[in-house]
Structure 1
Amino acid sequence: MTTKDSQFAKGDTLTVTIDTLATGGKALTRLDGMVIFMDRGLPGQTVEVKITKKKKRFAEAVLSKVISDAPDQITPRCGHFGTCGGCLWQNMEYSKQLEWKKRFVSDSLSRIAGAQDLEINDPIPSPDTFYYRNKMEFAFGDKQGDITVGLRRYGTHNVVDLQECYLQTEHTMEILDLVREFVNSTPALTAYDPNTRRGYLRFLVIRETKHTNQCMVQIITCKDTTNGDQQHRAIRQLGQLLQERMNVTTFIHSLRTHTSQVAYGEKTYVVLGQKSLTEVLSFENGMPSLSLASHADGFFQVNTDATARLYGTAIDLAELSGTEKVWDLYCGVGGIALSAAPNASEVFGMEITPQAIASANENAKINNIENVRFVSGDVRSALENESSKPDVVFVDPPRSGMNQEVVDLIMERTPQRIIYVSCDPATQARDIATLSALYTVTAVQPVDLFPQTAHIENIIRLDLTN
C-alpha cells in the first residue's frame, strides 16, 4: 500500500509494507506492477522509504524509518543496530535467517543457472551466532574534533563511534576503547578525511584466534608529515601499550597512500611480536585437526569454528579415496588443500597473492603434509601452465566468481568431480550455468558463516555427466 499515487518519481517519499526479501537481503514490495527494492527491512514491516532510482519496471529506495514492526520481529541485541552497517538481521530470529539464506541459494540457482527442482539441504548453522568473528576492520573518523573509531554508518562513509559490538569478542571492544582513548589524548594524531584526503589514522584491524590465545592488531595510516616522525613514534607507543595491557601478541603498522577506502597497506611493518597468527581447526567428521598460520594480509575465513564445518563438509562431499589428484583453485592459505591432502594422492593449490602462498607452504610444514605444492600467480595463467589432469577440483573464488576463461580451462581438463565453494550464490549460479554443459549438480549444501547478516557460504558438488 502507499500514501501516494503509483506515478511516483525519484526523490518521492512513500509508505509501503514490505512483502519479501530479495537475494542479498534487500527488501521488496510491489506497487501496481512496479517492483520497489529497499536497501533493508523485514517482511511485514510498514516503512517509510525515499525513492532513489526509478526505471520502467522497478525502483530503488532507501528506508527512512520503520512505522510498524513485522509480526515476528525481535529486539536487536546491539544499541547501534539500524545505524551501524555491520549487521542487517539482528531483529530476525536465527532460525528465520537460515530459512531466508536457503531461499536465496534456491532462487539464485533457479533464476540464474536455470537449475529447477534441485534439493537444497538445510543450511549448516554457525556454532555461535554472536562473538563469532575472528577479524574486524574498523575505520577512524572525526566528529567535532574528536577521533572516532568504529564501523561505517549504514549507507554512508561516516564512522559510528562504537560503544558496543557483538560480532567479535569482548576483548576486541576493550582494545577499541583503549585505542580510542590513546589517539584522542595524543595531539599529533589525526583521523584521515577521505573528502579532503588529509589526516593520518585510517583503519584499525583486529584479528583474534579462537583456540590459540593470539591477537594481532594492525594500524593502517598515511605517511607521517610531522617533524621528527611524531605520528609514527606515537603508533609505536600505542603498540607497546596494547602489548602490556591487552595481551596483544602481534602489532603491525601499515602505510597506505592510495585514496580508496580499503583496509590494506602498501607497506607493512611488524612492530612487535610475530608476523603471523596460527589457528587450529577441529573437525567434527573425524578428520585430523589442522593448524593454519596467516599473515596480516592473508585471507582466512572470519568464523573459525564454522570454517571447520565448511571445510569438513567440502571434503565429505568430494568422497576422496586416497588415489585422486586434487586441485584447489583460489587456495588462500591452503585450508581446503591441506584438509584434502590426507585422503588424496597429490594436491596442487593456486592463489594470486604471494603472501597467501607463503602461508600455505608454511602451513604444509606445520602440519607435516608433503603431498601438496602451491603456486603463486593468476589462476588462469597457472592453469594454462599446468600439464597435469585433476580427478577432483575444489574452487573457492572471490565474491565475483570465476573468470570465464578459468571455467573453460577447468572444463577442458574434465575432472570427474568439482566442489564449488562460494560466498555469493548469484555469481556461483552464473558459473554453474556454464559448467552444466558437462556437469550435473548432485549436492547443494549451504553453510552459515555470517549470522546476523544476509551472507551465506554455499557448497555445490558437480559430477561429470556420462
Structure 2
Amino acid sequence: MKKGDIIEGVIEEYSFPNKGSFIHIEENAQAEGGKIERKVTVKGALPGQTVKARIKKKKEGKAEAILVDTVKKSPLETKKPMCNHFYSCGGCTYQTIAYTNQLKLKEQMVKDLLKDVIDFGGDEKKTSPRGEGVIQGMTDKVSDREFIWEGILGSPSQFRYRNKMEFTFGDEEKDGPLTLGLHRQYSSHDILGIDSCAIVSPTWNEILKYTQNFYRKLGVPHYNKRTHTGVLRNLVIRQSATDGSILVNLVTTTHHSIDENTRNIPWNEKRSETVDELQLPQYVAGLLSIGEPKPVGLDAYTSHGYEKIKTQKKIVRDQKGKLQRVNGSFEDNVGNGEFESLSYYNRISGVLYTECDTLADAIVPDSVTLLYGEDYLMEEVLGLKFKISPFSFFQTNTKGSEVLYSKVREYALEAINGVSPNVISGEETSAKTGVIYDLYSGTGTIAQLMSPVADKVYGIEIVEEAVEAARENAKLNKLTNCEFIAGDVLKKLDELEEKPDLIILDPPRDGVNPKALKKILDYGVDNLVYISCKPTSLARDLEIFEANGYEPVKGCCIDMFPNTQMIECVALLQRMSICEVNNLSLGCL
C-alpha cells in the first residue's frame, strides 16, 4: 500500500465526526505471517457501505483515505435525499437515512467517545485510568453513584430548521461564472452553486438566486482566498422562527486587492470604488421585491415547520416599513383599509452591508452599514424574548434550542434544589438559591432562563456585541438579577467577588481553555452543567474534571442539526464527597 492507491472495503466501524473504517489486508512476504493488516479510516463513509477510497496517509497499522466512490449503499440508506445537491454539498450527511436511525448513529458515536470517562453499563465500560491530572492528595476511589444516561432527544423539525447560514461567493470551475452557494464536499475552496437547500426556508433560495444573478451581470469578482483579491465574500441570511422576518447581510472586501499596502489604508478612504461597483441601492430594491408583503391567511404563517402565529397578534407594516403589532382578530384587520397589507411570513426586514478585509476564513467586520429596515431580529425561546444582532451567537435551530435549554434548566434546577421543573409548564416554585455563573454566555439565553431560580446570575462572554445584546434582552424581559460581563473567561473570573454555587459551561467547539478550567475547578462548586457542541472536546474536559474530583452523574444528547453529523451534549457533574478540591493545586494544567 502506498499513497494514492485506491482500495475497496466494507465499513465496519463508525466514529465521530462521520468517519468510517475497515480492515485492509495486503500480502507481504517480509511481514510476520506474510500479511499486513491496516485499519483504514475514510471520512464520509457510512456503516455498512462498500467503498472505494484513495490512500492519503499511512502509518504502522493504520491509514487515512479519501472517499472516491460508493460501490454499495449502506443498509441504513433507505431514503431518497430531499436535496438535489446532497451528493456534492458538504452540508448534510444523513439525508438518505431515516431520522430514527440518524439519532441512533449519533447517540452511539457519543457513547463510544465518552466510554473512557463514563460508565454506561453493559459492554461500554469505563476504561480510562484515573491518574493523569489528579489533584495533589486525591484518592483513586470512585463514588458509588450510578450514571444516568438519558439517551438522545430529537429536533422538532428535521428540515427547514436553520435560522442562519453563511453562503460563499466563488466559482464552480476555474475562471467560470460567479457562483453563490456552499462549499463542496470535503473542500475548503471549491464552491457549489445551489438552487435549493432542504434545511433552510425556500425563500432563501430566491434570495441566493437573485444575488448571484445581480452580481454576475455586473461582473463583480468574488474574493479569492489564495490570492486575497476580489470583492464579494459572503451572503449571510438570518431568519426569526417567531415572526419569520429575514435579515440579509452582504459581505465584501473594501478593495479589489488586499495586500500589505492597501491594508494600511483606512477603510473609508478606499471603499468608494467598491461601493459604487456594487450598486447597493439597486441591489436592495430588487431584493425587497422577494419578500413583498402580501395579504395572506394564517396558513402562510405556518409554512416551513414554524409555529402558527397567534391570531390576536398580527404583524403589519406602517407607511415607513417598520413593524407594528396590532391587537384584534384576523378578520378585523383584513380589508378594513386601515393598513396596506399584512406582512408575509418571509418578509425581508433588514439589509446590511459589511466590509471585511481579514485574511482569515471568517467574517471579522471592518464596518457595518444598515442599508434598509432593522439591523436585528426578534426571537422567543421558552417564554423569553431575545433581540438577535447580526453577529451575535444564537442557536441555529430555534425550536431545537428550546429542547436543549429545557434540559439545561432541568439539570441546573436538580443541582440547586434537588428537583426537576414541571415538564409541561417548566415552572419551579422553590425559593431562589445562590449565585450562578453562565460562562461563555453568548446573548445570555441560559443566564436569563436561570434568572427566576437564582439570587444572582453572572454571564461572561468575549464578544462585546453579544454582551450588549444580552444586557438589552435582560431589560426586555424585565430581569434585574442578571449581570453580563464582556471579556475573556480566563481574565474576568478574577474580577468577580461573589463566588458561584453553580457553574454552567457552554464553551466554543474547542472546549474550555485549560487555564480557565483550572480556575473553574478551584471554586470547588458542588455541581456543574456542561453543554458541548463537540463531543471530542467534552470527552477531553470530562477526563480532567473527573481526575480532579468531579463525576458525571447524568447526561444526554440533543440533535440540533438533523441530517448532519453534528450533535450537542449536556452533562451534569457533581463533586465527589471523598475529595476536597478547595485550595488544592491542579497538577495537570
Same fold (TM over 0.5): yes
Letter in 2 for 1:336: I
Q: CA deviation at 1:31?
A: 2.2
Q: CA deviation at 1:63?
A: 0.6
2:44 corresponds to: 40
Alignment of 1:310-459 (within 5 A): 310-319=404-413, 320=416, 321=430, 322-436=432-546, 437-459=548-570
Cα distance between partner residues in 1 of 2:412 and 2:55: 47
1:262 corresponds to: 362
* SS at structure 2 position matched to 1:440: strand
1:4 corresponds to: none
Cα distance between partner residues in 1 of 2:391 and 2:186: 26
* SS at structure 2 position matched to 1:364: helix
* SS at structure 1 position matched to 2:150: coil
1:205 corresponds to: 236
- Which of the numbers 202, 216, 221 marks the counterpart of 1:170? 202
Q: CA deviation at 1:195?
A: 2.5
- Which of the numbers 86, 93, 96 marks the counterpart of 2:98? 93
Alignment of 1:88-237 (within 5 A): 88-111=93-116, 113=117, 115=119, 117=121, 118-142=147-171, 143=173, 144-156=175-187, 157-187=189-219, 189-225=220-256, 228-229=273-274, 231=276, 233-237=278-282
Q: CA deviation at 1:237?
A: 2.6
- Which of the numbers 389, 399, 402 marks the counterpart of 1:305? 399
1:286 corresponds to: none
2:76 corresponds to: 72
Q: Is the 8 A contact 1:114 1:433 kept in 2?
A: no
1:277 corresponds to: 377
Cα distance between partner residues in 2 of 1:244 and 1:224: 29
- In the superposition, relative to structure 1, how do residues 49 and 228 fare at CA in structure 2: closer, same or farther (>3 Å)? closer
Q: Is the 8 A contact 2:242 2:378 kept in 1?
A: no
Cα distance between partner residues in 2 of 1:383 and 1:420: 17
Letter in 2 for 1:110: K
What are the Cα deviations for residues 20-53 of structure 1, in whole angstroms up to 9, with x where unaligned?
2112111111224421111112111111100101
Identity %: 31
Q: CA deviation at 1:145?
A: 4.0
Cα distance between partner residues in 2 of 1:82 and 1:233: 33
Cα distance between partner residues in 1 of 2:103 and 2:39: 25
- After TM superposition, the structure 1 stretch with the greater mean CA deviation from structure 2, 338-347 or 433-442, is 433-442
Q: CA deviation at 1:99?
A: 0.8
Q: CA deviation at 1:350?
A: 0.2
* SS at structure 2 position matched to 1:121: strand
- In the superposition, relative to structure 1, how do residues 232 and 250 fare at CA in structure 2: closer, same or farther (>3 Å)? farther
2:319 corresponds to: none
1:241 aligns to 2:286 (yes or no) = yes
Root-mean-square deviation over aligned CA pairs: 1.7
- How many residue pairs get aligned? The number is 451
1:21 aligns to 2:21 (yes or no) = no
Cα distance between partner residues in 2 of 1:231 and 1:65: 46
What are the Cα deviations for residues 262-307 of structure 1, in whole angstroms up to 9, with x where unaligned?
234232222222222111113xxxxxx0111121111111000000
Cα distance between partner residues in 1 of 2:272 and 2:441: 44
Cα distance between partner residues in 2 of 1:434 and 1:64: 39
Letter in 2 for 1:309: V
Q: TM-score, normalised by structure 1?
A: 0.93
Provide structure 1 residue ranges, at least 5 long, that are not aligned to the other structure. Answer: 1-7, 283-288
- In the superposition, relative to structure 1, how do residues 235 and 57 fare at CA in structure 2: closer, same or farther (>3 Å)? farther
Q: Is the 8 A contact 1:224 1:231 kept in 2?
A: no
Q: Is the 8 A contact 1:16 1:46 kept in 2?
A: yes
Q: CA deviation at 1:71?
A: 1.9
- In the superposition, relative to structure 1, how do residues 230 and 454 fare at CA in structure 2: closer, same or farther (>3 Å)? closer
Cα distance between partner residues in 1 of 2:355 and 2:206: 24
1:460 corresponds to: 571
Letter in 1 for 2:45: G
1:12 corresponds to: 5
What are the Cα deviations for residues 378-408 of structure 1, in whole angstroms up to 9, with x where unaligned?
0010112212111111100000000111111
Q: Is the 8 A contact 1:26 1:40 kept in 2?
A: yes
- In the superposition, relative to structure 1, how do residues 103 and 270 fare at CA in structure 2: closer, same or farther (>3 Å)? same
Q: TM-score, normalised by structure 2?
A: 0.74
* SS at structure 2 position matched to 1:122: strand
- After TM superposition, the structure 1 stretch with the greater mean CA deviation from structure 2, 254-263 or 152-161, is 254-263
Q: CA deviation at 1:57?
A: 2.3
- In the superposition, relative to structure 1, how do residues 174 and 267 fare at CA in structure 2: closer, same or farther (>3 Å)? same
2:127 corresponds to: none
Cα distance between partner residues in 1 of 2:563 and 2:355: 32
Cα distance between partner residues in 2 of 1:167 and 1:324: 41
Q: Is the 8 A contact 2:230 2:255 kept in 1?
A: no
Letter in 2 for 1:406: A
1:291 corresponds to: 385
Q: Is the 8 A contact 1:137 1:263 kept in 2?
A: no
Q: Is the 8 A contact 2:247 2:375 kept in 1?
A: no
Cα distance between partner residues in 1 of 2:560 and 2:366: 29
Cα distance between partner residues in 2 of 1:175 and 1:166: 15
Cα distance between partner residues in 2 of 1:53 and 1:97: 29
* SS at structure 2 position matched to 1:313: helix
Q: CA deviation at 1:59?
A: 0.8
Cα distance between partner residues in 1 of 2:228 and 2:274: 19
1:54 corresponds to: 58
Cα distance between partner residues in 1 of 2:199 and 2:154: 16
Cα distance between partner residues in 2 of 1:236 and 1:349: 40
Q: Is the 8 A contact 1:220 1:264 kept in 2?
A: no
2:317 corresponds to: none
Q: Is the 8 A contact 1:149 1:176 kept in 2?
A: yes
* Rg comparison, structure with higher value: 2
- After TM superposition, the structure 1 stretch with the greater mean CA deviation from structure 2, 144-153 or 453-462, is 144-153
Q: CA deviation at 1:373?
A: 0.2
Q: CA deviation at 1:116?
A: 5.5
Cα distance between partner residues in 2 of 1:272 and 1:134: 20
Q: CA deviation at 1:240?
A: 3.1
